[in-house]
Amino acid sequence: MASHTTGDGGIPPRDAHERGLTRVMTLGGAYGTRNYTVKSLREQKGKRVLTETLPFSVAEALAAEEAGIDTMKVRFDPQNPDSAASIRRAAPNTFMAFSVPLIAAASAEQAVRIGYDAMAVGADAIMCQWSPRFIEAAAEAGIPVQGHAGLVPRRSTWTGGLRAVGKTVDEAKWVYDQIKTFENAGAYAVEVEVIPAELLLEISQRTTLMTSSIGAGSGGDIQFLFAEDILGNGPPPYPRHSKQYRELYKLKEAMQRERVAGFQEYIADVQSGAFPGPEHVIKAPDGLIEGFLRSLDE
* pTM of the shown model: 0.87
Q: Residue 2: its pLDDT value, please?
A: 38
Which amino acid is present at 28? G
- Integer Cα distance of 26 and 120 in angstroms: 8
Q: Which of 288, 266, 229, 256 is nearest to 52 (CA)?
A: 229
Q: Which of 193, 247, 253, 265 is an active site residue?
A: 193
Q: Residue 10: its pLDDT value, please?
A: 53
Q: What is the pLDDT of residues 206-250, one digit of tens each?
A: 999 999 999 999 999 999 999 999 999 999 999 899 999 999 999
193 as an active site residue: the answer is: yes
Q: What is the mean pLDDT of the chain?
A: 94
Q: Residue 7: its pLDDT value, please?
A: 40
Q: Residue 5: its pLDDT value, please?
A: 35
How far, in Å, are 76, 119, 130, 264 from residue 101 at the CA level? 7, 14, 9, 44
If pLDDT is split at 50, 70 and 90, which confidence band does 27 have? confident
- Residue 110 makes CB contacts below 8 A (sequence gap 6+) with 104
Q: What is the average pLDDT across 95-116?
A: 96
Contact 61, 69 (CB under 8 A): no
Q: Please give the angle made by the CA atoms of 164, 158 and 143, to the nearest 5 degrees.
A: 90
Q: What is the pLDDT of residues 277-288, one digit of tens each?
A: 999 999 999 999
Kindly list the domain boundaries of the chain, sorted by start residue: 35-246, 251-297
If pLDDT is split at 50, 70 and 90, which confidence band does 203 have? very high
Which amino acid is present at 48? R
Q: What CATH architecture is 35-246?
A: Alpha-Beta Barrel (3.20)
Residue 6 clears pLDDT 70, i.e. is over it: no
Residue 102 clears pLDDT 70, i.e. is over it: yes
CA 81 to centroid of chain Cα atoms = 13
How far, in Å, are 258, 265, 278 from residue 268 at the CA level? 15, 5, 17
Q: What is the pLDDT of residues 246-255, one digit of tens each?
A: 999 999 999 9
Q: What is the pLDDT of residues 47-81, one digit of tens each?
A: 999 999 999 999 999 999 999 999 999 999 999 99
